[in-house]
């Protein structure tokens, strides 16, 4: 199994959604949750993601799952190898500067 390929495709199978829209959808099905609490946890997970906090396996954390379970990637939370129409917060995918990240990976590969 090619781990590099899994890593690269990891954030691509998600359906992007804004925090507000996700909260609305989530509250429709989970009426025991309060909006304030859910928003707080989503923002905390998103901040952890932006700080570069990773799952213990080395993958980027899945913000939505991390807000509900704990800070971990999609695979570690669900046991599925890749997302299939699962939601991820748009900011957790769009905001990352790709050139910086690529340079970082290049330096890591040389060591």
* Contact with Zn ion (CB under 5 A) among 6, 15, 53, 57: 57
Q: Which stretch binds Zn ion (CB under 5 A): 31-39, 45-53, 58-66, 93-101?
A: 58-66
Is 48 exposed, middle or buried (CB count within 10 Å of its CB: 0-12, 13-18, 19+)?
Answer: middle
Q: What are phi and psi of 34, to 5 degrees?
A: -105, 145
Chain residues 69-98 in contact with Zn ion, contact rule CB under 5 A:
73, 76
For Zn ion, which residue of 46, 59, 87, 89 counts as binding (CB under 5 A)? 59
How many residues bind to Zn ion according to rule CB under 5 A? Answer: 5
């Amino acid at each position: 199994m090619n781990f590099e390929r899994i890593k690269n495709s990891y954030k691509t199978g998600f359906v992007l959604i804004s925090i507000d829209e996700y909260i609305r959808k989530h509250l429709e099905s989970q009426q025991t949750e309060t909006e304030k609490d859910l928003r707080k946890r989503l923002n905390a997970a998103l901040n952890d993601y932006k700080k570069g906090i990773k799952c213990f396996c080395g993958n980027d954390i899945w913000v939505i799952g991390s807000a509900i379970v704990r800070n971990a990637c999609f695979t570690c939370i669900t046991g599925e190898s890749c997302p299939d129409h699962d939601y991820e917060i748009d900011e957790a995918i769009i905001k990352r500067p790709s050139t910086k990240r690529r340079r970082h990976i290049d330096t890591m590969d040389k060591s």
